[in-house]
Amino acid sequence: LNLCPQHADSLNNLANIKREQGFIEEATRLYIKALEIFPEFAAAHSNLASILQQQGRLTEAILHYKEAIRIAPTFADAYSNMGNTLKEMNDITGAMQCYSRAIQINPAFADAHSNLASIHKVINCSEYLFDIELKIFFLFQDSGNVPEAIQAYRTALKLKPDFPDAFCNLAHCLQVICDWTDYEIRTSKIVTIVDDQLRRNRLPSVHPHHSMLYPLTHEQRKGIATRHAQLCIEKISVLHKSSYVHPTALAPGERLRIGYVSSDFGNHPTSHLMQSIPGMHNRKKVEIFCYALSPDDNTNFRQKVSSQAEHFVDLSQIADTGKAADRIAMDKIHILVNMNGYTKGARNEIFALRCAPIQVMWLGYPGTSGASFMDYIITDRVTSPLHLAHAYTEKLAYMPHTFFIGDHMQMFPHLSERAILKGKDKPLDPRKDNVTVVNATNLEPIMSKADVKAFVRQAEVIHGPEKEVKVTEVVVPVLEISTTAPVETMFYTGQVQTSVEGVPVQNGVTALTQV
């Protein structure tokens, strides 16, 4: 470039180096300069689109991908990367078309096969999704596309054996259908992959929410979360926003302003649990704001949350992260509550902009955020023992009993206290010491595909007057239960058959624990 400052190829190559080094702004400037010199430079258009996508500038990214494809119609990389952008914009059909076209151009394109597999994992899923992870995996009512996803990941790995993302997603798909073949080998390899990626400061192939499914250490799980938090900071760094100025104390007579941020204000387990919470604060001392990250689903749950809060703000139409943070900052919130963490619909970049002086994690995500911009996690001594404080980047804010809440008293006011045990008109005599764990996961797909009819667990039991400990097998049949059966009826009959133990992939924390 010293010899020829207008050399477009050199500018593009230098931009690639700057991007690899983390100098996003400088790399963007160099790509733009290369295109000013040579507007028909397909690779520069694609590279610029990719770095714009990384910054969250998705619409601009699409324009440059289209330019790259116009100039080079067989540019498979551009098609595949444009598919990633469309997927991020929730244009699943468009993403699938792009991936398919990339594979048509280059049948040996492993990344495109892997990307197409990720699409197979999300289409035809139920509208009512339990949060088991962010963006990639949902609990399927119809898991018919999981085999296609598995095949696509296997194809990708055949073409590119050293492909961590494809391997980890394949392992996850196999867990979905309860295929435990070589399970220990798979999980061992996942641990090795994560350890290597963390040592090299790479974004791990295992998502923070997935990390709870594997035998990773607390430090590894925290490391995965920390790397994702760093990605949020990288995305907002290009916005060049000035820091918000926050008050250091309440003015005389001023109420404490608390803001709850969630994409799950609707028919979702999170709202099932906390829909009454906004209205339970002392209004003389606290002013409540709820910020919805998802559109109105026209359910009673959404209506309940919005009616209980003094202020309900729909941020789903404000795609710009900076403007969304500005909207929250305008309300001068004192404590901002992150109810998503790393679950579907999260917008952690808003929190990375620090639009409130105190920011806390609560309820929706059970692990650490790994983020310097999250100050506390609301938890309890059982869930987060003090000796494991090192596993969190946040300070532990203990509730006196449990951080978990439920809305059963408000949802079922017609049931008197302990009505289940006191009922006398029931056909069966309930055992008062009965404990039932109900997992609401729809097991139909795995029962039909994997022939799962019962779960067998080994348990130690105390036997006889000598209190001898014996190892006993406990067989728990899987019983089909009508979804219309009242929960109290299932508890009353003492149907321990409804217990489901021993399945690594289970329902989201909120859905399972609330029962």
Q: What local confidence, expressed as pLDDT, does residue 408 receive?
A: 81
pLDDT of 296 > 70? The answer is yes
- Could you tell me if 220 and 194 are in contact, meaning their C-beta atoms sit under 8 angstroms apart? yes
Direct distance between the N- and C-terminal alpha carbons of the chain, in angstroms, rounded to an integer: 65
Domains and CATH numbers, the chain: 8-174 (1.25.40.10), 256-375+403-407 (3.40.50.11380), 417-506 (no CATH)
Which has the closest alpha carbon to 263: 365, 345, 349? 345
pLDDT of 57 > 60? The answer is yes
Q: What local confidence, expressed as pLDDT, does residue 253 receive?
A: 93
Question: What is the percent of the chain where pLDDT is above 90?
Answer: 56
pLDDT tens-digit series, residues 417-431 = 555 555 545 555 544
SS in 3 state form for 158-169? HHCCCCHHHHHH
> Hey, how many other C-beta atoms are within 10 angstroms of the C-beta on 67?
21
- Could you tell me if 135 and 228 are in contact, meaning their C-beta atoms sit under 8 angstroms apart? no
pLDDT of 113 > 90? The answer is no
Q: What local confidence, expressed as pLDDT, does residue 109 receive?
A: 86
Q: Please tell me which residue, 111 or 292, carries the higher pLDDT value.
A: 292
Q: What local confidence, expressed as pLDDT, does residue 252 receive?
A: 93
Q: What local confidence, expressed as pLDDT, does residue 417 receive?
A: 59
Angle at 355 between CA 321 and CA 353, to 5 degrees: 50
**Given phi > 0 = left and psi -120 to 50 = alpha, else beta, which region is 496?**
alpha
Q: What local confidence, expressed as pLDDT, does residue 453 receive?
A: 52
pLDDT tens-digit series, residues 153-209 = 888 898 889 999 999 989 988 887 888 899 999 999 999 999 999 999 899 999 999
**pLDDT, the chain, mean:** 82
Of 402-411, 458-467, 479-488, minimum mean pLDDT range: 479-488
pLDDT of 356 > 50? The answer is yes
- Could you tell me if 499 and 434 are in contact, meaning their C-beta atoms sit under 8 angstroms apart? no
pLDDT of 82 > 90? The answer is yes
Which residues participate in catalysis according to the annotation? 209
